Structure 1
Amino acid sequence: MSATLVAVALSLCSAVAYAAAAVAQERLASRNPGSGLLALLGSGAWWGSVLLNGSAALLHVVALKYGPLTVVQPLGALTLVAAVPLGARIAGRRVSAVEWRGTAFTLVGLAAILVTASGSAPDEVLGTPEALILAGATATLIGMLAWPGARPGLRHATGSGVASGVASALTQTVTVAATDRSGSLLTWQVIGVALLVAAFATGGLLLSQTAYRGGLGAPLAVVTLANPVAAAVIGLTLLGERLRDGAAGILLALVGAGLATWGVLLLTRAAPAPAEVPADDDEHPVAAVLALRPDSASQEPALVPRRPQEPGHLTAL
């Protein structure tokens, strides 16, 4: 099996775990809209979502060892695709025609991107100066997007996506350098980059938790799209990754990105709004997600992406 196929398979598993974690986070945020960090740390459900995110991140790290950023990161859009049947399962309903169309557009777009971006296992890494400059620029951008007192929403989601994309790029540097016998980076340099990874990964998680207070649909879409965009920019500009077939490959990749984006938008706009979740329910998030059902015909289905409340609410990894 080629390295790229291994990376794709691992990315698929990672997307499913991330989807379950996102649903659990939205559920917790919707029932505790004013909760701070200390309250979250005392919640078993929140730690369950952290465990799901950690498992997804581990699979993602291994995928980055076998595939370039331009292959692995766009597959993050499958997180939203995986959330469709999960949301339908929770609500006890069938997947709608619009959701099927959104899934189809997303999958076709990702396939086009994979055709142009397929490449060998990564071998280039970011040097220490490059990593520090990238970290500083990213921290500045995130600070501008989510300054203290800013209303939770798409700015926080964008910051989360960017933080996660940069964390992935730095993770690839750590993974490749740690397994490279040539010693292109010193041990202390690898440790320093690993600390940056931890900082951006944690920041991305907390920013997404804040963004999900306004609902899962639009913020999850923005996180899903901002993440691969940030990572692809780094891969193409700093890590020497290239698209195949020259101008034709670039055109196909752009068409694929457009189709995938449109599919993501359809998925986030298709489903009805979620109902309130009882505040005293604090069981493990996966068990709660699979057991939850609407109590009556008049109750809205729970834990599915919300329809944006006004035009322009979702404007774009």
Structure 2
Amino acid sequence: MNPAAGTALAVLLSLVSAAGYALAAVAQARLAAASPAAPDGRGALRALLARGQWWWAVGLNAAGALAHVAALHYGPLTLVQPLGALTLVAALPLGAYCARRRVTRTEWRGALWTLGGLVGLVAVTGPTAPGEALSLRESLIVAAATALLIAALASGRLRGQGGAAGPAARGLGHATASGIASGVASALTQTLTAALALDLPGTEPTWWQTALLAVLISGFATGGLLLSQTAYRGGLAAPLAVVNLSNPAAAAVIGVALLGETFRAGLWGWLIAAVASLVAARGVVLLTKGGAVAAEPASAAGPRPAAVPSTVSVAVPVAGSSGSAAALPVSSASLASSVSPVSPVSPVGEALLAAVPAPPVAPAARPGQAPRAIGLGAPEGEPMPAPVAG
């Protein structure tokens, strides 16, 4: 295959990968919104595995990963990785369409800022010497440190001491943990590939060491998927952006700290990475605000209180006529003022009070017996409630 055809196929596969990841994220977000969050989390995983929509999301994620690997086979990393950032741009309109709303301008701005920062990070990162991989000891150290970091992020211990955080903050914490888990899973996958090719640094691994790497990869990959599912309870756009940012960031930290890699272009590469990180952080903030603004109309669309009529009809007995009454239109404001305990009785209130017949008077109580209430709603023989002081 000539280079032009390989590049075109890599671009096509990258777009397919981005679409698969976007559809999977939208499916996970809808599942998170439809599933009630249990406080103790008991039975949440079992209920999740019983949902067909969850397995659709898993299949779409797997399809996106396979398309991404195939795109890397036909195209360079500098082309495929930036195109993978289009997942966020594709997920925004898809999520808004499923929610039957429009993407806000703040969300579009946040997506563009995040996309620019992510492309900048990917452009200056990447292995300077392909084929390098972690040793088995380094893999175990990275796995243990990552597990502790993920546990801290998932439990909320890194949110500070300012009190309980809202769903958005918890979602970003779980999204960060998800991206880190996926990034470490990718680094361990590279190590396992080198081990199977008998090119692992250090001594030749035994079968149990290879199996241990496979178990670690499966654990981090599954954990990243479940953490992203939890993160989408706080929205779609901002958690998805954090997942896409923390994944290459974790891989870059492993490469710089353990594999001797560095940012491209030397000092300028470090400067570009710092600026790109700030740009991406600005985009995440905008996506968080845009998601909150878009959620306000949905939460405000509740049952409206019943309207109070401006005029009500009051039945008043007519003097001299037995059993007859006349309906008089009275405004609600006048009626409220006439019965208000802190305002003087209005003329309308005086007419109403004069038309209402007085209740019968209770007979005098015998000594030692409490007065009885007659015709006032209390059963005969029960003590009348004490009058309320005006």
Instruction: Tell me how far apart the structure 2 counterparts of residues 111 and 94 of structure 1 sit (CA, whole Å).
Output: 26
Distance 1:32 1:99, change over 3 A: closer
For residues 90 and 156 of structure 1, do their structure 2 counterparts lie closer, same or farther at Cα, with a shift above 3 Å needed? closer
Given residue 251 of structure 1, which amino acid in structure 2 is its aligned partner? L
Alpha-carbon distance between aligned partners in 2 of 1:133 and 1:7, rounded to the nearest angstrom: 35
Counterpart in 1 of 2:18? 15
How far the C-alpha of 1:162 sits from its partner, in A, is: 1.6
Which SS does the other structure have where 2:295 is aligned?
coil
- Establish whether residue 141 from structure 1 lines up as the match of residue 141 from structure 2: no
Q: Which structure is larger by alpha-carbon Rg, 1 or 2?
A: 2
Q: Give yes or no for contact 1:15–1:82 (8 Å, CA) kept in 2.
A: yes
1:79 to 76, 84, 87: 87
Indicate which of 263, 284, 295 corresponds to 1:264.
284
Match of 1:48 in 2: 56
Q: Percent of pairs identical after alignment?
A: 57
Compared with structure 1, are the counterparts of its residues 225 and 119 closer, same or farther at alpha carbon in structure 2 (3 Å cutoff)? closer
CA change 1:41–1:114 in 2 (3 A) is closer
Mapped contact 1:4–1:119 kept (Cα < 8 A): no
Q: List alignment gaps of at least 5 residues for structure 2.
A: 39-43, 157-163, 303-390
Question: Of the candidates 172, 178, 182, which is equivalent to residue 190 of structure 2?
Answer: 172
Distance in 2 between residues matched to 1:84 and 1:258, nearest whole Å: 21
Instruction: Return the alpha-carbon distance in structure 2 between the equivalents of residues 97 and 34 of structure 1.
Output: 30
What does residue 235 of structure 1 align with? Answer: 255
Q: Is residue 273 of structure 1 aligned with residue 278 of structure 2? A: no
2:67 counterpart of 1:59: yes
More helix by share: 1
CA contact 2:95–2:236 (8 Å) conserved in 1: no
Q: Compared with structure 1, are the counterparts of its residues 197 and 74 closer, same or farther at alpha carbon in structure 2 (3 Å cutoff)?
A: farther
1:245 pairs with 246, 265, 275, which one? 265
Residues 93-112 of structure 1: matches in 2 within 5 Å? Answer: 95-112=103-120
Cα distance, 1:49 vs structure 2: 1.0
The number of residue pairs the alignment matches comes to: 277
Residue deviations 1:24-75, cap 9 Å, x none? 1111121111361111111111111111122223334556778999997776
CA distance in 1 between counterparts of 2:62 and 2:26 reads 15
Output the TM-score relative to the length of structure 1. Answer: 0.71
User: What do residues 73-129 of structure 1 show as CA deviations (whole Å, max 9, x unaligned)?
Assistant: 776643322212223443566544333333332333334334423666721011100
Residue identity matched to 1:47: W
Counterparts of 1:169 and 1:18, CA distance in 2? 20
Please, what is the CA RMSD of the aligned residues? 3.8
Q: CA deviation at 1:227?
A: 2.1
Measure, in 2, the Cα distance between the counterparts of 1:138 and 1:174: 18
- Scaled by the length of structure 2, the TM-score of the pair is 0.59
Checking the alignment, whether the CA contact within 8 Å between 1:13 and 1:56 is kept in structure 2 is yes
Letter in 1 for 2:45: L
> Does the aligned pair in 2 maintain the 1:68–1:120 contact within 8 Å?
no
Gaps of 5+ in 1: 277-297, 300-317
